[in-house]
Structure 1
Amino acid sequence: MKKFPQRSLRALSCRYKCPPIPFISGVTLLLVLVSLAATAQQKIAGTVKDSTGEYIIGVSVKLKNTNIGTVTDAQGAFSLSASGANNALIFSYVGYEPKEVAVTGSGPLNVILQPNRQQLSQVNVVAVGYGKQKKAYVTGAVASANLDAVRDAPNTNIIQSLQGNVPGLNVGPVTSAGSTPSISVRGQNTISGNQNVLIILDGVQYNNSLSSINPDDIASIDVLKDASSTAVYGAQAANGVLLITSRRGNANGKPRINLSTSYTTQNPSGNIRPLNREEYLNKVRDLHWDQAYLAPTYTEPNPAFNLANVVDLTMRNGNELVPTNFNWYDAATKNGFINDNQISISGATDKVNYLISGAYTNQSGFIINDLFKRTSLRINLESQATDWLKIGAQTFGSFVNADGAEPRLTAIFQMSPLLTPYNADGSYNPFPFNSVDPSPFLTYDVDDYERHNYLFGNVYAEVNFPFLKGLTYRVNFGNNGRQDKRYFASKYGGGQTGEAYKTNESYYDYTLDNILTYTGNFGKHNILATAVYGAIQRKYETTTATGIGFSNITLGYNNLSLATTQRTTSDGYEESLNYYMGRLNYTYNGRYLLTATVRRDGFSGFAANNKWGTFPSFSAGWILSEENFMKGINFLNYLKLRAGYGIAGNQTQRYFSLDQISSQPAYVFGDGGSTVFGQYISTLANPNLKWERTTETNFGIDFGVLRDRITGTFDYYNRETNDLLFSVQIPNITGYSTINTNVGRIGNKGFELTLNSKNIIGKDFSWNTTFNFSRNKSEVLDLLGGGDLIASNLFIGQPIGAIYGYQTAGIYQLGDEIPAGYFPGTYRVVDYNKDGNVNNLDRYVVGTAEPAYRFSVMNRMQYKDITLTFLVNSIQGGRNGYLAGNTPSIGRSDVNIRNGGIAGIQYWTPSHPNSPYPLFTGAAPTIVPGINESRSFVRLQDITLSYNLPSKIIKKAGIQNLNVYASGKNLVTLTKWKGWDPEITNGGLNPNGRPLLKGYSVGVNITL
């Protein structure tokens, strides 16, 4: 491989900033164009949009009665020369009605084409990275989210709107205020590498929290799923790409003012709760079944047994139990809500396009002090400064208040109902269990200040070369910044001596892209070529000051110098990327399609010998329905075949290739002296560490039948990730414990299907349905050149989410012949390998945590001005998929006697021999296997009923549109899973989960 040039190495090093080469070249080019334009002849120029205000790419523009013509570029712009007066232009584009426009005056033309509804589904424009393309000409696996269907759902995070919306895009649940759900595309492609989906916001990489984005500001989200489409982003795109585009002004003439407000109530969708007093006492009796009940059956109560003799001293007065029945759960929770308010002003003139929006969102979660308040402001401006120059800015600021520390829900379930969090004087009791377990409300009675300020701005200029038709240059300068403040003070901290700290973090990155685009139409040949050169620089800093031991903590974190013990910590990093990208889209005769892409990336975080990586892709398409031999198939309106192959990369963690330093107790100076920590190198450097590479083949079909009453897309893919980043154990005799290297391969294959049907098309009533289905199967192909890694739960030939466990055959009962190490009430472990012994050799792969398939069904029914929309979402495990451990077991110990628990769990006792949950009174059995259950579910995820008031009523008040609606979220879930919601991490019958919230909303949208 070509060695990394010295000056590029300097540009990519964390010690140096990226050179401003692309910016200087961009400014120089603009100055040259100004001088050229001064001598250019008069042009006829303008833009072409559709009826929604979106630019249309590739529109044929011809001077009437001549052979002079051109096509619109990626921004819908055109320019051509003409002489004489009384000229007229003919605009034509597949899927739109042709239009003739007279040329009068010298100003730019703003042309709007009306769609031909019969062909509209074939000509939609989608974002494809560094530009847009007609959907009919896309050869990769690119899907657009249907955001309009869920606009009125109570989602504070834009990613929530994608759940069940796009096949192959997997979005997890949200369980806390303002949080961002998990996101993945087509399964897991790495083990130790980055698993994040790449987010592109208005053409610029976005590395801040998605909770900072106001969902109402977003116009569209396009998903790049296969390597042939993600390769344009090279080294960071192996996990898929989300292209998020913000709204813009699209109203010509009079400004459009939109107002909206909504209120949502939120409560848990399930019924998990802690034990009350009587349930807790029954649990304690069950733990002492051999004492609380009489032999030999142990089913008849023992009158001599006194619960007060076995519970903690804090829960009894002498030989009597305290009468307390405190509900810790009620004290820690409340009804949640979301209040959302939006305002925007948008419009467009011949030369200026603008959108100004503001929003305030206030969410209070189900758990007290789970708070999220967001104030946001967006300004998008674009100006056609001259016939050849367009300038614009896409900016927003988001300011988040997350003050308040919620009590730990796990601790709430662990507290006994016989205790209270209060002292006799009403103050909080730090240790209800006499210094054993702290009160969960210690995190509530604190001074907690948490703020996050986000600033984003993309400033761009675009030039249409006046001397070369179809050639445009665009420079993007995107800036992305964040400031985080977390201040905390608690009189209970530091062993009740008081503790406070201040943490300040800052993050900033810039993206500088130079994009050259050429659009040409030569008879039956159409070319769209794109070249990109860009650079990214990121910088992060954090400082924390902590004080412990306050004689008076009244000033809290505002005077840490009062603390007896003071310490400070700091951290930071700086990293840089450079990249080149070239892409060619070629179309012949409107039916033969070709896309070829190559991108080369350099990253400062990679090893010295592998700073650069190259990522190519190739895809092709064939619109069969345009062939003459297909014309006789009357029911078939549209059919396109696609095939693609590409390689995308995955970056490593920064410093992953360098020596890693750890610390440990090293020296003691003198008898009774304090321990001094020393540093040592724990991880050996690897100068040959390489990028992970994901190679993918994709085959797809796009179709429309029965006059496009049914349209759809089908994709099959097979991907393989090589050179997995992995930390390998090495002999300590080397002086090191691990080395980070490239080993192993994993694969993912599956298919995705989308069907859109127009079930009923009537004058007053219509009904449309969208069905999405996806299946993905992962497989570990190779590890360290050989065997399984049982400790890491990785097995050759098995899914990444393989579950390794035991087979059981019920629970041992009284009177059974029980082997040593097991007791009545414990699981009967099967000798799976039939060697006469029950041990860890009897483990096997019992199933996988990965789903077998996912599906969703969206229905939209409209009767006159009333619209009903509802989305059913489902994840299914099949025979042995989508499994998780869900077997609470309990043994007689001080902790289990003292703690509460989850209500509704009946453990095994002689009185309940058929209970599936084990209980043991002595030491833990030799093997305590977990039982895995299916998490399959079907959920009514979103439902909205809306009504548009008749225009004849509202226009008298100066209102263009007034819509009122009611919606619900997560209202019904059908599942056999027990405990927290099946999608929740750490769910099931354990206290470590969080509730999935269901919500009811009412709202109004007004357009003036």
Structure 2
Amino acid sequence: MKLTIFILIIALIQVSARGFGQKITLNTNHTPIEKVLQSITNQSGYEILYDLKDLKDQKVSLKLNNVSVEEAIKTVLKDLPFTYQIIKNNIVLKKEEPTFLERLAERWADRDVRGRVVDETGKPLPGASVRVKGKNTVANTNSEGEFVMKGLADDAVLLISYVGYKQLELPLKGTVMPLEIKLNQVTGELEEVAVKGSTGYQVIDKNHPGSFDVIDNELVNRTMGTSVLSRIEDLTPGVLFNKTRGANSTNQLLIRGRNTINSNTYPLIVLDNFPYDGDINNINPNDIESFTILKDASAAAIWGARAGNGVIVITTKRGKTAKPQVSLRSNVMVSEKPDQFYSSRISSSDFIDIERDLFNQGRYNALINATRLPQPLTPVIEILAKQRQGQLTVAEANAHIDKLRNQDVRNDLDRYFYQTAINQDNHLSVSGNTSGINYYLSGGWSKGIPNNLGDAQIDRVNLRTNNTFKVNNKLNIDVGLTYTKNMRNAGNGAATITPGASKSLYPYADLVDDQGNGLILVKDYRSAFTDT
């Protein structure tokens, strides 16, 4: 029995010796130090004790092959401010504390900084900002341009700035107090920008003798719109847009004004080097890379008489990279319907009182007694005329007029003629440029619902493919296909509702009945004349 116990004790001592004498093998790269220490624990059997916050965010890279535990710990802690102590089967890591002399030297290394900030002539700059680079320490100069900053490190760097002056970066090391800091004014120098456009035949730069403007893809995409013209509006001087109702694709755009009376004023459109005679609104603006607008007579030297009204050169997108690029763009813009009561307007009751007063003064007698093409009269004047002719009693006339006092035409306009505007624009494209082919394939769907029910509603589908086959260095073959389906629905809006004869709509006009059915509005001629 004693022999058995002795053999077991010897065996346990040997196992323990093997555990704590285990060699360490590690190969890590930018690994958190906690994981490295855990690996040493697993291989050696030693428990490693440390304060987790001291080693937080510390990472090490090392390669160890069959080394002792102590050598492994030394390698891990190399270049780190830590010491270690082996106590039985524990390894204790401690952060090195600076000595008294080190703390004293560090304290004396900090310095108080005093200085004065002036301009080129030596005039003080009050309110200048003095900031320590990489720190939150900031000071502002007083009325004499002076500042004081305490306890700054000797290797600190100051950033001095003042509105209208160039920022100065000043290292403190080696400087002598007090500082005299001079700032230089910012000059009006602008970087030169390379501007290049296209005439449809060749690329032109800023030295081109003619007048032209270039609108690149970045400017085109700054605004949202379902049409090309809405994207380039207000982006270039000298291009006028006709926004009046009834303007179509042939008269809604002018370059440098009208230069003819009866002839077509629309500029020439050049799409990918070829004249384009279709509606410019059928072109998907998301397919456009850039616009070049030629404004003066020099365009006629290239495109002849058709360029008399100016030229808009449109360059569409092409593939740019060997790797296929997929682009998806989707926009939705919602606009509330206009507030009909935003602007102050005479009330229906006040308008009727004015009409009654003018009627009593005889101001409408000529219109009432006219027999040849009599102009339309408002309902109140018709009622007063019938009362005077004995067709209505005073009570009946007042009852009809009082009913109109409570009517406001803006309620009908707001309900039946205006709506929330919604513009949707969706576009998907795939493009690429390889040694054998440059390809661009896109599809787009745009829908526009305007505020005014009478304005055109747009529902457009675009498909486009643009391919260049590179046969050899001297021969390229361009193949393209464009499909456009554009549906536009338009009607008469609120602006067309007038009594005619150059008269505006009276405020108590009744456009619908109580069931929402449209009512007849007298227009151009009196109802008594049209009914006979």
TM-score, with length taken from structure 1: 0.27
Going by fraction, where is helix more abundant, 1 or 2? 2
Going by fraction, where is strand more abundant, 1 or 2? 1
RCO comparison, higher one (Cα < 8 Å, 6+): 1
Point out the structure with max Rg over C-alpha: 2
TM-score, with length taken from structure 2: 0.50
